[in-house]
Structure formats: structure tokens, C-alpha cells
Amino acid sequence: MSELAQAPHVAYGQKPSLPAPTARSRGLIHIFFGDLLSVCLTIATGALLLALLPKVLDWAILSGVWDGDGAACKGGGACWAFLRDKYRQILFGVYPANEQWRPAAATAMILAVALWSLPPRNWTRTTLTLWLVCMAAVLGLMSGGIFGLASVPTTSWGGIVITLLLTVSAIGLGFPIAVVLALGRRSKMKVVSLISVSVVEIVRGLPLLSLLFIASILLPLMLPDGVSIDKLLRAMVALTLFSAVYLAEVLRGGLQGVPSGQAEAAHALGLGWWHTTRLVVLPQAIRKVIPPLTNTVIVMVKNTSLVLVVGLFDLLSSGRAAATDPAWPAPYVESYLFVATIYFAICFSISRYAYWLESRGADNAR
Amino acid sequence: MNAVSDNPAVELRGVHKWYGQHQVLRDVSLRVSRGERIVICGPSGSGKSTLIRCINRLEEHQQGHIFVDGVELTTDLRKIDEIRRDVGMVFQHFNLFSHLTVLENLTLAPVWARKMPKKEADDLALHYLTRVKIPEQAGKYPGQLSGGQQQRVAIARALCMNPKIMLFDEPTSALDPEMVKEVLDTMVQLAQDGMTMLCVTHEMGFARQVADRIAFMDAGQIVEMNSPDEFFARPRHPRTQEFLSQILH
């Protein structure tokens, strides 16, 4: 007992483990009516909802018109019948009506290959080949002129296929270009880094709209007579370049976040520059910038809608064009809601996928 | 010393190096025979790390000559990659590839730099993981291991390239005290197997037990080089005496 008396704070023997104190979660009542500010906010928000909700419900459901033609939509309610009648035009634009199975099949192909590419274990050369085959098939199917398919010029393409094609090229081709630009900007070779910096700064310094105008109006003027490049292709190049420089700057941030010791260790093992970059530095850099990368990708998906200014009928402009039909009482809201839902589905899926990738990486590298 | 071959494993002749205007290596010359173990010590900023990083050209020297296994280090990149495959390096901060599992860390260089079949590389990796006594960690990621385990993985990773020479750059300086021994034991074992080793370290017990010669560096020069017995019993240079009196109490 005497030694205990000398050192009362020293533990002799293992003390029992105690259960951790439970974290007190605040009740809903506390969150909404905890203090004066919360009470005011709750009441104000509630009042606003009470005022708006009935109107929205009445418009969308109670007074909504689900069947019939333009004449049935004369009341104040939502004209869902319009969407039922016109969804094909919104989805596929001015593509010949009796050939619309072709853009539908093309869309299905792109979505199927995109789904297949999601799990990291499918990030292989085979998948890359699959994408090339898929894109060739989509272009063949859409333009026709082969296998007895009627020929359809790109000026008649429209709707979701245009949006998907532009997205795939802006991201799928833009990303590899971005990698080259980001690595180039960090290169010790002065010429290489100067070129990369110039491309990034010039393209980033231009609004996307002006880039699209340059591609669609200036470029044909500068080309020699008789040479013409497809309008869709020109818009695709402009969008790809634009997304490449943004992605490049995001990637550069990631590259700067990889400790120099990682590349040193790879070099010390005798791995050359390319192996070091591809196997060690890039995977870690990309993992670090998944959130801003996702951000840029989503912005680029929505940027594809800007091609309407150069006369391409993507999903958004097809929706607008459909709503101008004089047989219907200007159902813009319904049409835009439909289009917005599709954009939201695409962007939200990308967001959730990126979130999953991120959490998967977090398990490994702490 | 057990020098046998005509070519020294490593030879430095009159090596100079500057960082900007600041000279970090001044006319350093050193011959390391095959199978020889050299410990390099000295105060911080004396150029120890720079010296061994020049041997596999993580740093470039600006004057003088460095030969590794009879081949001179020049700006020829392909030659440098070949030399690096034969020179293993262990870093102070492990530098394991954090996005790869332990096994993938070990097989990366054999598969991509030596073109070894995956299966063979896996077997080799498991062999060396067993040698550093952590085969059960093969499927884990570096972040899930203790510092001592990570450093042993780093040693195994270097050994997978079957190097002729091993360089150690303060391999125990970043470790918790309790983990120093497991790493030193691995290094002692390696020394007993006859590996040519250059170690920058302040572990004087290790130096006494393993080193054939101890080099003491100060201000970019090797100011003293001797067998451990002589080095500890009769240090000649005043800087060495001061250093030893500071670290040996």
C-alpha cells in the first residue's frame, strides 16, 4: 500500500474498458424550434411553402392535362399531353421520323458502353477498343448510307444523340489532351512548357461561345474554297479543346500534390519517365482531384447545350424547337422540365459515381 | 575488407556539386569494393544524402566522375535507368507507392522495368516479403502498416530488383523508437548476406556492428574515414571528435 501512497496517479494493472459516452443527437424539435432565429426561419419557410405548394400541385396535377391535343391544353394547367405527343421530337430533334429507331439505338449503345466502363476493373485496353467500335457504330448508324440505311446528313441530327456525342468527345478526347497539357506545362523542356501554357491560357481566356463562333463561322472562311468541315465536327473540336484546358489545370493541381519522393522512388527502381508517370504519379494525381474533376466534367456536360448558338439541335434546343409548334399553347415549361430532368439524371449519376470512386480510394490510401 | 574483383562497386573521383551558388560536395573521392559496407555519418547539411543520391543520379554532380560497377554516370538516360535497376535505394520516408498494395509495390519495377512475368514477380515479391518477415501484409496498402513495416517493405521492394548495391538514406530517422530495431535487424541480415551497402545513418551501434569503414562528412567533404574500431576509439579530425562527443554519452 505504501507504493500506492507514493504514486497515486500510476495505474497498477489494466483498468477495465468503459463504453464510450453516447453522442447526443439533437431532436427535430430542437433543430426547427431551438432558438428564436430557428423559430422565425421555420415559420417563414413554412408560410412560403404553404403559399406556393398548392399552386404548384394544382398546376402540375389537379389542372394538369394528360391526354388530348393542343386544344385540350387551353386551361391553365400543365400540358403533359404535349410531352406524350412530342417526346420523340425532343429526344431526337429533326431526325426523320420513320428512322428514329436509329438515334434510339445509338443512344442505347453509348449508355451501355458507358455503364460497362464504370467499374475500375474494366479500365482496360479492351474497353478502349469497345469505345472506338461503339463510336464508329454510332456514327455509321446515324449517318447511314451503309447496309441499306437511308443517308441522313448531320444537319438533320438532333436531340440526345448530339448531347451525348459532344459529351463523349469533350470528356473522352479532352481528358487525354488534358493529361498531355498538364504534363507539358510541368516539363523541364522550355519549348514544351511554353506551348502548353500558351494553349491553356489562350483557350481558357476565350468564352466558349466565341470559340464556337470561331469554329462555325471564322473557320469556314479561312479554309480554301471547296474544302468544308462538318459543322458538328467543328463544334466537337471546339468543345473538346475547351474542356481539355480546364481539365488540364485541374490535373496540374493534382500533379503538384503528389510528393516528389514518389517519382524518386520509381526512378530509383529503374523505371523510366513514362512508366513513372503512368504507373505512379498520374494515378495518385487523379485520385487527389476527383472532386474538382467531377465539377469540371459536369460543367462540360451542360456546356454542350451552348452549341444551339451555332445552329446545332442538341437536347435543349430540340426541346425549345418542339415547344414552338403552333398547334400547342407554348408549353415551354413542360418541355424544359423534361429536358432538365434528363440533364439532371446525367449529371447526378456522374456526381454519385465520382463520389463512389472517391470513397473507394479513401479506403486504400490514408 | 573482402574486395575480390578488379572493378570497385562504386567509385567517385573528385566529385563536386552545387545547389545554385551553394557548394554541397567538394572534391569527394571514394572507392567502395564489392561486398563492402560503408556507413556515412556527419552533421546535417554536410552532404551525406546528396552524396549517395548522386550515386544513382537522383542528383546530378557537376564535376568529377562517378562509376557504378565500372560504368560511368553520364547524361545518357538509358544507361542511368540500367544502373538504377542494379542500385537499390531505401529512403528516410519510405516513399512506398500509396495507391498500390504491398505486393504491387514490390512487383511494379520487376514487371515494368525488367519485363518479368507477373507470376514470377509475385513469387519473387513473396520471397522477399518473407525475408523481411511480413508476408502476411502482402494485400494491404502502405497506409495500413506501421512505419517499421513500411520501411521493411521498402527494403524488400529494392531487393526485388536483385540489386548489386544498396543505398540507405537515413532509413531509421523517421521511425518511432520502438521500430528502429526491426529495420536495423533486416539491414544487418542483408549485410551478412554479403550485399554491398552504403548507409547514411546515425545508428552508431549498427555502424560498429556492420560497417567495414565509417566515413565522416563535414561541409561537403569526407574528413575522416576509418574502420569502426579506430573511428570510435581514436577519432583524428577535431570535427569528428566533437560530433562523437555529442552523440555518444
Q: Chain B contacts of A270, Cβ < 8 Å?
A: 81-82, 84-86, 109, 113-114, 161
The sign one gets for the Cα dihedral A234, A240, A245, A246 is positive
Q: Chain B contacts of A364, Cβ < 8 Å?
A: 98-99, 141, 143
Residues B165 and B181: their CA atoms lie apart, in Å, by 22
Give the model's pLDDT for residue B1: 41
SS3 B34: coil
B56-77 burial, b at 16+ Cβ within 10 Å, e below that, comes to bbbbebeebebbbbeeebeeee
B 109-128 residues inside an 8 A Cβ radius of A? 109, 112-114
Structural domain range at position B137: 10-247
A265, A269, A287 member nearest B113 (Cβ): A269
Whether residues A267 and B108 touch (CB distance < 8 A) is answered with: no
B91, B141, B158 member nearest A364 (Cβ): B141
The strand ranges marked E within A58-204 are: 158-159
Domain-embedded: residue A233 = yes
Mean pLDDT (whole number) for A14-32: 82
pLDDT level of residue B161 (50, 70, 90 thresholds): very high
A269 inside 8 A of chain B by CB: yes
Give the model's pLDDT for residue A7: 64
Question: Lowest-confidence range among A198-207, B5-14, B229-238?
Answer: B5-14
Q: What's the per-residue H, E or C state across A87-122?
A: HHHHHHCCCCHHHCHHHHHHHHHHHHHHHHCCCHHH
CATH number, domain containing residue B30 = 3.40.50.300
Domain-embedded: residue A32 = no
pLDDT level of residue B2 (50, 70, 90 thresholds): very low
Strands A313-314 and A158-159: parallel
Share of chain A above pLDDT 90, in %: 26
User: Does the structure show a pLDDT above 90 at A70?
Assistant: no
B99 inside 8 A of chain A by CB: yes
Please, what is the average pLDDT of chain A?
85
User: Does the structure show a pLDDT above 90 at B110?
Assistant: yes
Give the model's pLDDT for residue A250: 93
Compute the radius of gyration of chain B from its Cα atoms. Answer: 18
User: Does the structure show a pLDDT above 80 at B108?
Assistant: yes
B162 inside 8 A of chain A by CB: no
What does the block give as the cell for A37? Answer: 432565429
B208 inside 8 A of chain A by CB: no
Domain count, chain B: 1
Query: Of B59, B60, B112, B124, which to mutate for an interface test with A (greatest number of A Cβ within 10 Å)?
Result: B112
A265, A270, A366 member nearest B91 (Cβ): A265
Structural domain range at position A304: 80-361
Domain-embedded: residue B2 = no
User: Does the structure show a pLDDT above 50 at A366?
Assistant: no
Whether residues A264 and B87 touch (CB distance < 8 A) is answered with: no
B87 inside 8 A of chain A by CB: yes
Domain count, chain A: 1
Give the model's pLDDT for residue A315: 83
A13 inside 8 A of chain B by CB: no
* Helix, strand, coil abundance in chain A, percent, nearest 5: 75, 0, 25
Give the model's pLDDT for residue A216: 81
Q: Chain B contacts of A268, Cβ < 8 Å?
A: 56, 58, 84, 87-89, 91, 158
B77 inside 8 A of chain A by CB: yes
Instruction: Give the residue with greater pLDDT, B248 vs B136.
Output: B136
Mean pLDDT (whole number) for A120-130: 87
Whether residues A271 and B82 touch (CB distance < 8 A) is answered with: no
B113, closest residue in chain A (CA to CA):
A271
Q: What's the per-residue H, E or C state across A318-355?
A: HHHHHHCCCCCCCCHHHHHHHHHHHHHHHHHHHHHHHH
pLDDT tens string B56-76: 999 999 999 999 988 888 888
CATH number, domain containing residue A206 = 1.10.3720.10
Closest-CA distance of chain B to residue A9, Å: 25
Closest-CA distance of chain A to residue B231, Å: 31
Domain-embedded: residue A336 = yes
Mean pLDDT (whole number) for A187-200: 90
User: Does the structure show a pLDDT above 60 at B135?
Assistant: yes
Give the model's pLDDT for residue B249: 64
Mean pLDDT (whole number) for A173-193: 91
User: Does the structure show a pLDDT above 70 at A6?
Assistant: no
User: Does the structure show a pLDDT above 50 at B3?
Assistant: no
How distant, in Å, are the alpha carbons of A95, A96, A193, A224, A267 from that of A156?
Answer: 5, 8, 42, 25, 54
B8 inside 8 A of chain A by CB: no
A271 inside 8 A of chain B by CB: yes
pLDDT level of residue B164 (50, 70, 90 thresholds): very high
User: Does the structure show a pLDDT above 80 at B37?
Assistant: yes
What does the block give as the cell for A313? Answer: 439541335
Q: Answer for the pair A243, A296: CB distance below 8 angstroms, yes or no.
A: yes
Whether residues B109 and A264 touch (CB distance < 8 A) is answered with: no
The sign one gets for the Cα dihedral A100, A105, A106, A107 is positive
User: Does the structure show a pLDDT above 70 at B43?
Assistant: yes
Q: pTM for the complete prediction? A: 0.83
Q: Chain B contacts of A261, Cβ < 8 Å?
A: 91, 93, 95
Q: Chain A contacts of B198, Cβ < 8 Å?
A: none
User: Does the structure show a pLDDT above 50 at A16?
Assistant: yes
Q: Chain A contacts of B113, Cβ < 8 Å?
A: 269-272, 275
Domain-embedded: residue A4 = no
pLDDT level of residue A364 (50, 70, 90 thresholds): low
Give the model's pLDDT for residue A8: 67
pLDDT tens string A288-345: 898 898 999 899 888 888 888 877 888 888 888 887 777 777 778 878 888 899 999 9
Report the interhelical angle of B180-192 vs B147-159 (nearest 10°).
Answer: 20
Whether residues A268 and B56 touch (CB distance < 8 A) is answered with: yes
A361 inside 8 A of chain B by CB: yes
